[in-house]
Structure 1
């Protein structure tokens, strides 16, 4: 397999939107976020850092969006096109982004992810520490919906996304087919 040239890391521009959507969708398809597909890139909160990794032909092969609220910076999206994973693209995006957070007032960077081994290993490998966890519970067709109520005029839930305490993991997994542990990773900034 021929080596890929290193992508260029640069600020996101509106012209990148279709490449951003494609990169994110293809990356997420192979993860537990497979159904978190967006038809448009969300407008980031300000201040924010939005970077892309572009191959020489302009193809977006990596994306990183970080929003800042008060002292907390949050990775809203980090994704690498599946054909380009393992090339340190996410790490290079993060290494480029962290200095750009200086002056925003952020003192901590956090991120949330599910149980994908590669994602969890990456966060730990770039210096994040797990701080907390809870459950993402999806109630779908074929799951036990007894006890669920809906407003007048609506039928039983077809697809519902809920949060639950991690202490209820065994109970949730016994009742519902799709349950994920969601972890919050944190690392200090600027120091």
Structure 2
């Protein structure tokens, strides 16, 4: 089985590795200033293409990366959620970003729970973190729903180079709460 055949399912969502078929929705997401406020800002289509290629490439290089999040009812691409640890990253992250038109529906924590379970089970991670801007109250709310707490502060590597709060929890804490 190829990593590109991997599927995680929740009650309302399908998580699968991203592919070319996701590009138009991904590019629209990257062009949304609300969704991209804490993700480095709006990306023009050529930069969005490289961002998507980076996610796909991470699957090839590392065997994991963010999943495309697909809404079961509509079949629509609604975001990216999952394991993320590019070179120089401050830890083993499970991140989330959902298209702004779908905020407030509980999709981010639903998808993140499945991705965290997978990261601990399939990848053997001992800690999952979430790098969150200090003024990103929406992501802080999601992190709290996941049982995460602020562990430390960090600075993201280039090209981001911003200070973040590192939220998260150990495998042991996650399993105890599940």
Is 1:61 the counterpart of 2:81 in the alignment? no
Query: Residue deviations 1:86-120, cap 9 Å, x none?
Result: 11101111121122221322110012111111111
d(CA) in 1 for partners of 2:136 and 2:22?
27
Structure 1 residue aligned with 2:64, among 17, 36, 48? 48
Which residue of 1 is the match for residue 140 of structure 2? 120
Asked if the contact 1:46/1:67 (under 8 Å) is kept, the reply is no
Scaled by the length of structure 2, what TM-score is found? 0.64
Report the CA distance shift for 1:119/1:97 in structure 2 as closer, same or farther (over 3 A): same
Which residue of 2 is the match for residue 106 of structure 1? 125
Which residue of 1 is the match for residue 48 of structure 2? 39
d(CA) in 1 for partners of 2:31 and 2:142?
19
Report the CA distance shift for 1:187/1:24 in structure 2 as closer, same or farther (over 3 A): farther
Q: Which has the larger radius of gyration?
A: 1
d(CA) in 1 for partners of 2:125 and 2:35?
31
Matches within 5 A, 1:120-159: 120-133=140-153
Aligned pair count reads: 144
How far 1:130 sits from its partner (Å)?
0.5
Asked if the contact 2:13/2:111 (under 8 Å) is kept, the reply is no
Gaps of 5+ in 1: 1-5, 137-160, 164-179
Structure 2 residue aligned with 1:12, among 17, 40, 58? 17
Which is richer in strand? 1
Task: State the structure with bigger RCO (CA 8 A, min sep 6), 1 or 2.
Answer: 1
Structure 1 residue aligned with 2:115, among 71, 78, 97? 97
Structure 2 residue aligned with 1:88, among 103, 106, 114? 106
Asked if the contact 2:29/2:35 (under 8 Å) is kept, the reply is no
Report the CA distance shift for 1:35/1:96 in structure 2 as closer, same or farther (over 3 A): same
How far 1:25 sits from its partner (Å)?
4.2
Gaps of 5+ in 2: 1-10
Pick which of 79-88 and 126-135 moved more: 126-135
d(CA) in 2 for partners of 1:97 and 1:119?
16
